[in-house]
Amino acid sequence: MSDNRETEGAAGLAGGAIQVKDTRTGAEAEIPIEHGAIRAAALLGIRSGPEDEGIVSYDPAFKNTANCISRITYIDGDRGILRYRGYPIEELAGNTSYLDIAWLLIHGELPTSAESAAWAAEVGAELGVPDPLPRILDGFNPDGHPMAMFIALLAGLGALHPESKQVTDPATRAAHVRRLIAAAPTLAAMTYRRGKGLDPVAPRADLSFPANFLNMVFGGEGSGYEVHPALEQAMDVLFVLHADHEQNCSTSAMRGVGSSHADPYSSAAAASAALYGPLHGGANEAVLRMLDEIGTRRNVPAFMDEVRSGKRRLMGFGHRVYKSYDPRARIIKKTAYEVFEVTGKNPKIDIALALEQAALEEDYFIQRRLYPNVDFYSGIIYEAMGFPVGLFPVLFAVPRMSGWAVQWNEMLEDREQKIARPKQLYLGQPKRPVPTA
């Protein structure tokens, strides 16, 4: 199925249709198949009588509903394939910078070296954020969760860039896609600094995108901090791996909120809020807390007993789409050892490896096709690099900003899209009178 969808692409499958018979009325209908899909609206024509509004497809949590046509990211969950604009993630990670990936997501092609340099300069010019934001940040307690601060600052940018509301104007959209990508690391670093009671560090456009981010987090005047090239490279790889992942929970939030023509900063704040949850991007934080709790390899069997009995989830395992090894997890696992060369080994990797081994041999996981996802090993790297655990979801949001922004733009360019508004099946009380006293 996914093979066909992929190879046939926009040209569509060779056509075909499904024939349905409504056993209530005996009526028959033919519903065309396009790109391996049927249009849900075609079901509206199947009615039991004149009063009937037609058949609705019921799909809690959108397990089998395509909400859009997209040309950005391709995933084949059975085969563990992830591609941005057709390029395999394994070939992009380590060979292409995150900023070039952002360009690729936006334009559909990798930049030439001249385009790459011009794009880096354009993003570099937008790294700073308007003055009121540090003052807003000061209003938070240092022990507040960095993701909550990030979401608030991001939404605050909407108030500071009211012109971004012109979402039907392509030039305005392009400007704010760029600004979102550029502002994300600056806001993220500010939340870290607030947590430590430190002043923000000004962005530096003379550094690479990941090096500037590391410097805004750990550097600053008098810190003596120098970005290590291996950590700069690892950060870039992590950014590349997290850049987009098609219609996940947070991207759907970005598209859904954006479909009401809210400004892109409000939509990105909503997407970040969706990412924050432990079942999505907050899983990287949850994995580290779980590893802390397990403490040592010896406790792995007891922990796995709890998972098997349904008391616990093995965080960082399982995925709605991947029913095989998440290709990003494989790359991250390798990157972890490159980071340890510089930082020293994070001993939690041994617990994680023991959990993975136990899970991959365990019937519970085999039957449910549960494998490590992107969040299983990323937190171990982040911790080795010196990031606090609460910052992990924010580290995910920084590069995902490019995916969100590009998906948002694609949604607004798509003439078939309208304000997102699912239906419900109402099974509540029928009309009844309010009781009188």
Q: Rule CB under 6 A: which residues touch ligand ACO?
A: 248, 279-281, 283, 307, 313-320, 368, 370, 373-375
Q: How far is CA 47 from CA 32, 37, 65, 174, in A?
A: 18, 21, 21, 44
Query: Could you tell me the smallest distance in angstroms from the CB atom of residue 187 to ligand ACO?
Result: 20
- Provide the pairing of β-strand 28-32 with 87-88: unpaired
**Per residue in 231-255, is it b (16+ CB within 10 Å) or e — as a string?**
bbbbbbbbbbbbbbbbbbbbbbbbb
Separation of alpha carbons 183 and 158, rounded Å = 12
Main-chain phi, psi angles of 194, to 5 degrees: -60, -40
Nearer to ligand ACO by C-beta: 101 or 167? 101
Q: Among residues 193 and 319, whose Cβ is nearest to ligand ACO? A: 319
Residues marked as catalytic: 280, 319, 375
Residue, CB closest to ligand ACO: 318
CA dist., res. 175 & res. 106, Å (int): 12
First to last CA, the chain: 60
C-beta of 315 vs 354, nearer to ligand ACO: 315
In terms of CB distance, is 165 or 320 closer to ligand ACO? 320
- Torsion, CA 24, CA 35, CA 400, CA 62, rounded to 10: 10
In this complex, which beta carbon is closest to ligand ACO, that of residue 315 or of residue 352?
315
| Side chain identity, residue 178 | R
| Residue in the structure block whose two tokens are 């608030």 | 152
What one-character-per-residue DSSP string does 144-184 give?
A: S-HHHHHHHHHHHHHHH-GGGG-TT-HHHHHHHHHHHHHHH
In this complex, which beta carbon is closest to ligand ACO, that of residue 215 or of residue 378? 378
Q: Give whichever of 143 and 363 is closer to ligand ACO, judged by the CB atom.
A: 363
Q: Classify residue 177 as exposed, middle or buried by CB count within 10 Å of its CB (0-12, 13-18, 19+).
A: buried
d(CA 352, CA 237): 21
CB nearer to ligand ACO: give 283 or 394. Answer: 283
Instruction: Give the three-state DSSP class for 83.
Output: strand
Q: Minimum distance between the CB of residue 314 and ligand ACO, rounded to whole angstroms?
A: 4
Own/partner contacts of 78-87, CB < 8 Å, gap of 24 or more, are 78/2, 78/323, 78/324, 79/2, 79/324, 80/322, 80/324, 80/325, 80/326, 80/327, 81/327, 82/245, 82/327, 82/328, 84/243, 84/244, 85/109
Q: How far is the CB of 236 from ligand ACO (least distance, A)?
A: 19
Q: Contact at 8 Å (CB) between 63 and 320?
A: yes
